[in-house]
Amino acid sequence: MKTYLILSTLLTIGLNPASAADSAPPNWPQFRGPGGNAIAPAQTIPLAFGPEKNLRWQTAMPSGHSSPCIWGDRIFLTGHVGTTLKMLCVRRSDGKILWDRERTISKLLTYEHVAGGPANSTPATDGQRVAFLFDDYGVVVTDLAGALVWERKFPSTANAYSYGASPVLDDGNLYLNRDGGLDSSLICLEASTGKELWKAARPNMIGSFCTPYVLGEGAAKQILAGGTGWLHAYAAATGDPVWQVGGLPAIVCPSPVAADGMIIFGGWTTAHAAGRNRVESAFDEDSGVSAESMKDPAAFLAQFDANKDGKLSKDEFPRSRARDAFNFIDKNRNGFAELEEWAPLYGEQQMAPGRNVILGITTGGKGDVTKTHVKWETTKGVPYVASTLIHGGRVYLVKTGGFVTCLDAKTGKAHYESERLGVAGEYYSTPIAVGDHIIVSAQRGTVFVLKDGVKFDVVSRNELGEAIFATPAVVGNTLYLRDEKHLWAFGE
């Protein structure tokens, strides 16, 4: 892999531009791209980019947190305007919106977190059809020109934090995680018709955000689905359970990933923190919360009660995870956090059974393989939402607050641990690998480029100025980033 100087000072990623363009397939067909692995074929994209630098185009987007799904010259996204759900197709070459299809829902839920929304799931395509999934409506499948192929409505899971799992298309099948709700299950539909091929019941699962993952090939192919303390593997042909691993978080946002015989899965949730640890997890170092306020809910109320009315409005909270989850705190929905609502955060009991952990699991086995196939675990640097990336035999974890950890995939041994990026807040976007670099996006609008390797090395820091929830995509030597208001395309 070589690094070139472009236009005197611009560093680039990947191979020779001509050979990269010839070899890279022009698609990023689902959440986390080809195979759901968040790895782009070797390409040349700029390290330095932003509103005034290496911008090819910028297109306004409606509200929504879905990531770009790309096939050829078409980018597929979802969004919403009020109760109107949108399915969008953008021309990759210039950012023009080619078509816009709509469905209507009766009302928007009041979500308990700022990241909640009805258009979080990333579309999936197989080059013939595109699957759009909305928890409050169902699944809509179109052709690449936007013509309806089929649709199927589902009852909403009514997740208070909204729905986040994305559909997966593989070998003519469409896989949907429907955890939570009245009919919790993993469903396999025939992609061409919508016919149900099988349904694997998942009782006692609370709503999760875990996108299914396709593992293996042929008769041995399995579908992995994580949720509520477990990772389950199902036979892709029949939906029959094959194996499971326990000891995982009760509420899981990341999705599993595998490489070289190892599956990496786990995550972090506030439900497994308690007391001082729970309070500290809600606030970054730049929040201004005093040491006394970390210990005493009354002191916190006094510190931030600007108008001294004995309660806190959302605007009075410092920028933090607690502010993001204000609707969860405001139990009586009166628009204020009062002491009796705020004080339970300081309690010493976990809110749910389970633990915050990342596991390294070897493939194979039957039944409960927790004791036989879990080869390592770590409780340090565990991500809240961002899924794990495996690249070059290394595991990358991106933790809330802006901390990056790199582990050996086979042993779990740390190459480096909890290194600071320098931007606090949430990291919802999954890191992706492009050539010998890693792209990490902060919710606050900063995109970092790291050197892939056993040493922590931040190559560049790029400011977009808008909140980022989606995972980027790379196709045709171009980086595609969706933030709160726009879809961006960056290239030379």
Sheet strand arrangement including 27-28: 27-28, 69-71, 74-81, 84-91, 97-104
Q: How many other C-beta atoms lie within 10 A of the C-beta of residue 353?
A: 11
The sign of the dihedral angle between the CA atoms of 24, 29, 35, 38 is positive
The sign of the dihedral angle between the CA atoms of 420, 36, 68, 438 is positive
The pLDDT of residue 159: 87
Q: Is 289 exposed, middle or buried (0-12, 13-18, 19+ CB in 10 A)?
A: buried
**CA distance linking residue 379 with residue 420, whole number of Å:** 17
pLDDT digits (tens, 9 = 90+) for 352-393: 889 999 999 999 999 999 999 999 999 999 999 999 999 999
Enter the tokens of residue 93: 């070459």
Letter string b/e over residues 404-425, b meaning 16 or more CB atoms within 10 A of that residue's CB: bbbbebeebebeeeebebebbb
Instruction: Please answer whether residues 190 and 172 qualify as being in contact, where contact means their C-beta atoms are separated by less than 8 angstroms.
Output: yes
Q: Is 305 exposed, middle or buried (0-12, 13-18, 19+ CB in 10 A)?
A: middle
Instruction: Please answer whether residues 28 and 69 qualify as being in contact, where contact means their C-beta atoms are separated by less than 8 angstroms.
Output: yes
Q: Is the pTM of this model over 0.85?
A: yes
How does residue 313 score in pLDDT terms, banded at 50, 70 and 90?
very high
Write down all domains in the chain, each with its CATH number in brackets.
10-271+352-490 (2.130.10.10), 274-346 (1.10.238)
**CA distance linking residue 156 with residue 179, whole number of Å:** 10
The pLDDT of residue 351: 86
Region 73-91: mean pLDDT is 98
Closest CA to 123 of 76, 85, 188: 76
In the beta sheet, which residues pair with residue 226? 231
Enter the tokens of residue 253: 């946002």
**CA distance linking residue 380 with residue 356, whole number of Å:** 9
Letter string b/e over residues 199-218, b meaning 16 or more CB atoms within 10 A of that residue's CB: ebebeebbbbbbbbbbbeee
In the beta sheet, which residues pair with residue 414? 407
Alpha-carbon distances, residue 480 vs 55, 75, 414, 477 (angstroms): 10, 10, 31, 10
Closest CA to 85 of 109, 55, 99, 64: 64
pLDDT digits (tens, 9 = 90+) for 239-288: 999 999 999 999 999 999 999 999 999 999 998 998 888 999 999 888 99
Alpha-carbon distances, residue 400 vs 4, 283, 347, 404 (angstroms): 33, 10, 22, 9
Mean pLDDT of the chain: 93
pLDDT digits (tens, 9 = 90+) for 24-60: 458 999 999 999 999 998 888 999 999 999 999 999 9
Closest CA to 101 of 80, 118, 82: 80
| SS3 assignment, position 23 | helix
pLDDT digits (tens, 9 = 90+) for 452-480: 999 999 999 999 999 999 999 999 999 99
Which of residues 189 and 10 earns the better pLDDT score?
A: 189
pLDDT digits (tens, 9 = 90+) for 168-194: 999 999 999 999 988 899 999 999 999
How does residue 19 score in pLDDT terms, banded at 50, 70 and 90?
very low
Closest CA to 244 of 175, 186, 190, 302: 186
Instruction: Give, in degrees to the nearest 5, the angle at Cα 253 between 125 and 314.
Output: 115
Instruction: Give, in degrees to the nearest 5, the angle at Cα 354 between 181 and 264.
Output: 90
